[in-house]
Amino acid sequence: MMKKNPIFVTQPSLPPLEELIPYLEQVWENKILSNGGPFHKKLEDELCKYLNVPYISLVSNGTMGLITALQALNIKGEVITTPYSYVATSQSLMWNKIKPVFIDIDPVTLNLDPKKIEAAITPDTSAIMPVHVYGQPCDVDAIEILAKKHKLKVIYDAAHAFGVKCHCGGLLKHGDLSILSFHATKVFNTFEGGAIVCKDIKMKHHIDQIKNFGITSETTVEHIGINGKMNEFSSVLGLLQLKYIENNIKKRKVISDHYRTGLKNINGIRCHTESKVEYDNYSYFPIFVDDEYLLTRDQLYSKLKDSGINGRRYFYPLITEFPMYKNILKKQEVDLSIAKEASKRVICLPIYSEMDFKTVEQVLDLIKKG
């Protein structure tokens, strides 16, 4: 087949350019480009309202959010986490000299399996870092019970979960802190960016100080800090993106439904279990290629790619396959068979708000033909 413009796993949603100009004129006039400027403040306020959370601290990217969150809670020793995620999750631990302790995932949600947490707790365990993979909520209630029982902190990597509402409303209210990513490839993007969601104003101030070099006043530095601030340009983008987010998520739902219908009854192709949430964000569309399918996962992946359809194998390889984690895992002797199985079979198909039906049909045809 002739190669056309490649279709990527995602395509960033962008607000109309003409709407950006007046905001930029305002930034030019203010001459405040960073360090908690007026648009930064406004975006924090608007996001608190939209996400229905008490406090938010914007950061320069999701990884910085994870690193800063670990610092803010003074997490040390060992943290229980999942191998089935983007490498940023565990890199944030390693960057803070914290040992990741990997446990297997739940076969349905593909999130960290709470039933496996207790066996992994040691005297050095200080926290749990689960990930709401593909925006599908973790078993937040079970995790909360265990965390309370063992006095552990919970930091949710919610990079995929912008706007997702679980059984009790906002998913981001769970745990001590939740971290969002606003990267270009995410449902809500500020080019690069992210946020830490927290429950009280004291913690918000603490995070605000850590992301600003640990500075507490013009002449005092009280914490070991970093430069993790979001700039005014990204904040402006965020404000504009918020105007379109509902509509973009609606369009993603249509694509997702179309895929689900089209992939029904293809022997050996499984869709991810539909999220039982009040409000999904349709951030990814993973499929799993079983042995009954005509091709292997990698053959299908290559076939799509040769036709210009660039799916991604999120998350293959597993984090524990990377050299710096392999050694840690050797000593842990843990069964990660469910994560390995998912990683071996997954392909995330392209999904983005501007995706047209013709492209969806093209993807479906290629998969149907095998």
Point out which residues bind ligand T4K (CB under 6 A). Answer: 8-12, 61-63, 85-86, 88-89, 131, 157, 159-160, 181, 183-185, 194, 310, 312, 314
| Distance of closest approach, residue 63 Cβ to ligand T4K, in angstroms | 3
Q: Is 6 helix (H, G, I), strand (E, B) or coil?
A: coil
293/320 with CB nearer ligand T4K: 320
13/212 with CB nearer ligand T4K: 13
Question: Helix 88-95 crosses helix 62-72 at what angle (to 10 degrees)?
Answer: 40
284/288 with CB nearer ligand T4K: 284
34/185 with CB nearer ligand T4K: 185
Query: Looking up tokens 């906002």, which residue turns up?
Result: 170
Query: Looking up tokens 């990597």, which residue turns up?
Result: 157
293/350 with CB nearer ligand T4K: 350
C-alpha to C-alpha distance for 333 and 148, rounded to whole angstroms: 26
The residue number with the shortest CB distance to ligand T4K is 62
DSSP assignment of 237-300 equals HHHHHHHHHHHHHHHHHHHHHHHHHHHTT-TTEEEPPPP--SB-----EEEEE-TTSSS-HHHH
Pairing of strands 78-81, 55-59: unpaired
| Distance of closest approach, residue 86 Cβ to ligand T4K, in angstroms | 3
Number of other CB atoms surrounding residue 218 within 10 Å: 5
Q: Using an 8 Å Cβ cutoff, are 39 and 23 in contact?
A: yes
| Distance of closest approach, residue 333 Cβ to ligand T4K, in angstroms | 25
Element (H, E) at 170: strand 169-170
Retrieve residue 93's tokens: 């631990």
60/293 with CB nearer ligand T4K: 60
| Distance of closest approach, residue 183 Cβ to ligand T4K, in angstroms | 3
| Distance of closest approach, residue 12 Cβ to ligand T4K, in angstroms | 5
| Distance of closest approach, residue 301 Cβ to ligand T4K, in angstroms | 13
6/107 with CB nearer ligand T4K: 6
44/192 with CB nearer ligand T4K: 192
C-alpha to C-alpha distance for 180 and 263, rounded to whole angstroms: 30
Q: Using an 8 Å Cβ cutoff, are 227 and 211 in contact?
A: yes
Query: Looking up tokens 């971290």, which residue turns up?
Result: 179
C-alpha to C-alpha distance for 141 and 163, rounded to whole angstroms: 19
| Distance of closest approach, residue 160 Cβ to ligand T4K, in angstroms | 6
12/370 with CB nearer ligand T4K: 12
93/117 with CB nearer ligand T4K: 93
| Distance of closest approach, residue 291 Cβ to ligand T4K, in angstroms | 27
Retrieve residue 192's tokens: 């690069």
C-alpha to C-alpha distance for 199 and 107, rounded to whole angstroms: 31
Retrieve residue 141's tokens: 């209630």
User: Smallest Cα–Cα separation from 134: which of 357, 290, 349, 304?
Assistant: 349
| Distance of closest approach, residue 33 Cβ to ligand T4K, in angstroms | 20
Query: Is the peptide bond preceding residue 317 cis, with omega within 30 degrees of 0?
Result: yes
C-alpha to C-alpha distance for 271 and 132, rounded to whole angstroms: 17
| Distance of closest approach, residue 193 Cβ to ligand T4K, in angstroms | 7
C-alpha to C-alpha distance for 339 and 150, rounded to whole angstroms: 25
